Structure 1
Amino acid sequence: MKNITFSANESLIEEAREKARLENTSLNKRFREWLEQYVRRGNQKEEFQSVMKKLGYAEPGKTFTRDEINER
C-alpha cells in the first residue's frame, strides 16, 4: 500500500477523526473506502449507458397523457 499526504483544515481533520472513532473505525480506513467509491463512480456512467443501449429496443407501446403519468 502506498502512502500519500493531503492538506486540510486542522479542525475538520479532528472532527473527522472523532466521527471515525465513534464509528469504531479509523479516518484512514474511511478514506480508503471513499477512494474506492470515487474510482467506481466514474464507471457508473458507462455502465448506465451500456444498460440503456441494451434496452434501446424497448417501446412503451403507448403514449401516456400528462394526467396518466401523474396519476397516483
Structure 2
Amino acid sequence: WRHPNIVQIYHAGEENGRFYFAMEYIDGIDLAERLTTQPLPLPFAEVMRVGTAVAAALDYAHAQGVVHRDVKPA
C-alpha cells in the first residue's frame, strides 16, 4: 500500500540477527531538525499542516491494520 505521507519501504530483512529496512529517500529536513534550527513557536498554519499530514498517515495505516506505536519527528 502507498500513502503520500508515509515513507515507502522497498525491502525489509534480517542479516546476522539484525533487522533492517531499505526505505525511500526523502530530501530535506525532518521535524526534529526543524524544531531545533528554526524560530519557535511554529506558525499555526505549519502546525496544522504537519498535524493534519501525520493524522492522515496514521488514519490510513490504522485502516490497513497497522498500529504504529513509535511515532517520532524524524
- Larger of the two Rg values belongs to structure: 1
Q: Which has the higher helix share?
A: 1
TM-score, normalised to structure 2's length?
0.29
Q: Which has the higher strand share?
A: 2
TM-score, normalised to structure 1's length?
0.29
Q: Compare relative contact order (CA 8 Å, sep 6+) and give the higher one, 1 or 2.
A: 2
